[in-house]
Amino acid sequence: APAVIVAIDGPAGTGKSSTSKAVAAQLGLSYLDTGAQYRAITWWMVNNGIDIADPTAVAAVAGKPEIVSGTDPKAPTISVDGTDVSGPIRSPEVSSKVSAVSAVPEVRARITELQRSLAASAENGMVVEGRDIGTTVLPDADLKIFLTASPEARAARRNGELKGADLHATREALIKRDAADSSRKTSPLAKADDAVEVDTTDLTLQQVIECVVTLVEEKR
């Protein structure tokens, strides 16, 4: 079969990562978590004392960190300048700052280039998850999925991942991040016109995976 590119976009907590990894593993495709790349560059900015409220300061160093993504869906990795940052990029501090960093056009240009080159070199194809994959990064993707879910369902799922977190605070943080991601000027979170929208509120993860696998197989 020829290489197949699947773009999976949507707001936080809709099951993008779990779905994308499972679909890629099941179909023998590579997997790219583009949110992890934006988190990694944000982690580097925080670690290096860059004022993330200052877009000019962020833009000036956007090209500095070397960000490497491992694209095996069974064991995805992310490193910055050779250091594995899979753990620290999930901290509440990085989560609260990533939208500001990822809104800077120089950051997006840099990360988008990385994403396109990884997708082009994936032998069997790739499942790429993010916010602007179907609209901007890979507009010619073979299949575009846009996952949605109610804010309540999204907060509950995210809370299941972050042990001991407060549900109300999680919900507020997700809503704030989605609003920032949707309203930025450069490639905001948006559904592509030709994307298939899947509302996952009342679906199990297994049902979402099956739905996407079926859609990919129809395209192959």
Q: Is 18 annotated in some ligand binding site? A: yes
Least separation in angstroms between CB 1 and ligand C5P:
26
Q: Are 127 and 20 in contact, with CB atoms under 8 Å apart? A: yes
Distance of CA 85 to the CA centre of its chain: 16
Question: Which residue, 144, 200, 199, 194, is CA-closest to 6?
Answer: 144
Contact segment (CB under 6 A) with ligand C5P among 22-30, 33-41, 196-204, 212-220 equals 33-41
Q: Give the residue, chosen from 97, 110, 157, 177, that forms a contact with ligand C5P under the rule CB under 6 A.
A: 177
Q: With respect to ligand C5P, which residue has the nearer C-beta, 103 or 216?
A: 103
Buried b (16+ CB within 10 A) or exposed e, 146-155: bbebeeebbb
The amino acid present at 73, given as its one-letter code, is P
Note whether 102 binds ligand C5P by CB under 6 A.
yes
Q: Give the residue, chosen from 19, 20, 34, 200, that forms a contact with ligand C5P under the rule CB under 6 A.
A: 34
Note whether 21 binds ligand C5P by CB under 6 A.
no
Note whether 50 binds ligand C5P by CB under 6 A.
no
Note whether 15 binds ligand C5P by CB under 6 A.
no
Least separation in angstroms between CB 214 and ligand C5P:
24
| Backbone phi and psi for residue 9, each to the nearest 5 degrees, phi listed first | -115, 165
Contact segment (CB under 6 A) with ligand C5P among 69-77, 130-138, 149-157, 197-205 equals 130-138
Question: In whole angstroms, what is the distance from residue 102 CA to residue 37 CA?
Answer: 10
Note whether 98 binds ligand C5P by CB under 6 A.
yes
Q: Give the residue, chosen from 5, 7, 39, 158, that forms a contact with ligand C5P under the rule CB under 6 A.
A: 39
Question: In whole angstroms, what is the distance from residue 192 CA to residue 135 CA?
Answer: 5
Q: How far is residue 135 from each of residues 10, 129, 161, 188, 194, measured CA to CA in Å?
A: 11, 12, 28, 9, 9
Residues at the contact surface with ligand C5P, assessed by CB under 6 A = 12, 34-35, 38-39, 98-99, 102, 130-133, 177, 181
Residues at the binding site for ATP are: 10-18
